Amino acid sequence: MAYLVFVRHGQSEWNALGLWTGWGNPSLSEGGRAEARKAAEYLQDIPLHKAYTSKLKRAQETLHEIKQALDNVTLDTTEHEALNERNYGDYTAKNKWEIKEQLGEEEFNKLRRNWNHPLPNGETLKDVHARALPYYEKNILEDLKAGKNVIVAAHGNSLRALMKHLEEVS
């Protein structure tokens, strides 16, 4: 049986400020780097054969910290935009808590967690699912079927979309 490990990136510089990051490309904060190294502690006993990450720095830096902590810096790694975070469109780089105040809690929660609630010039979770799932099935799943232990370092929404599929959430 192969292992599939999902790791959400550590805290980014924008996360620390309460900003919607989406397709923005900030680096990890020092706290985020420490979170990644802590995640590696849980993976010490799992030999990893393949890694996947998004095209965004915070996920790549998280994976790099994990690989260094596991002394596995040469781990075969593929970066792909299908694993990128949800595009928050017009909300990118805006303060989440100010937006919550402007929209109200109900609308804010729809914006963040609803399956198909539109964002101005952005993506829904349904859109993220539509790009992440085919990539998973064509690439990651094939590695798992071949018996490889795989780590995916990505983002809350791209991982949530894959979990929806894997756990058969309606």
> Catalytic amino acids?
9, 85
Residue 25's CB: how many other CB atoms inside 10 A?
Answer: 15
Q: Which amino acid is at 19?
A: L
Q: How many whole angstroms separate alpha carbon 160 and alpha carbon 69?
A: 25
Cβ-contact 135, 83 below 8 angstroms: yes
Cβ-contact 83, 152 below 8 angstroms: yes
Cβ-contact 38, 90 below 8 angstroms: no
